[in-house]
Amino acid sequence: MEIRGPRLLPARREDIELHTADGLCLVGELAVPEAKDPAATLVTLHPLPTAGGFMDSHILRKAAARLPALADLAVLRFNTRGTASPRGRSDGAFDGGVAERHDVAAAMEIVRERALPRPWLVGWSFGTELALKYGREHDIEGVILLSPPLHRASVAEISAWAQDERRVIALVPELDDYLRPAEAAERFAAIPHAQLIAVEGGRHLWVGETQTRRVLDEIVAAVNPSALPLSRVWPAV
């Protein structure tokens, strides 16, 4: 059958709790390949919760639904402080990306506790701000930024990645509501090794199967390229 929409492929899925240094409990899920060890790990950071973003925002949900089976990836999703989804509500209240520093650290602690390999931060919209602001504090291979608005990450926080050898990959939609490719090239010029991928016809919310597939393909190309091309049917052929 064709893989599209909410189709859930085989994986071992576990509801988890993350505990922050300032005493909050965050709810999440860890999905890993069904019958083998993961090749790498995606730690996902969701869009703005005050605008409806949460761990089930569709690109992150589809990454967890598909990539453990198609690309041998572990996918960790969670609700940042004060955010609710069908999984539940995380403790605390939205803090505009400030106290969320502790949320990112709590997710990375799960990675360490579970000995999950080769972690990457994958942020979408508001989640890209968290990745840029706090990713350098953690043992990751790089950051993948989906629709970065660059509203909260400061010039200094962006420029700091220039002295960091880890990869910075930004998928910038041609028709984004906040930051389009030409402006993104100017803003990311402070990071000489940043890889900007302009997505023709793309929009901030990546709606539709064509855009979903493009995003997942680019994530896998960065993290586990040997898994490409991703199968469009299941069982994979």
> What pLDDT does residue 25 have?
98
Write the pLDDT tens digit of every residue in 108-143. Answer: 999 999 999 999 999 999 999 999 999 999 999 999
Please report, for the chain, the start and end positions of each structural domain, with discontinuous segments joined by +: 12-226
The CATH class, in words, for 12-226 is alpha beta
Q: What's the order of all strands across the beta sheet hosting 119-124?
A: 12-19, 25-32, 73-78, 40-45, 119-124, 142-146, 167-173, 195-199
Across the range 64-79, mean pLDDT stands at 98
**Pick from 214, 212, 208, 170: which is nearest to 190 by CA?**
170
Write the pLDDT tens digit of every residue in 183-232. Answer: 999 999 999 999 999 999 999 999 999 999 999 999 999 999 999 999 99
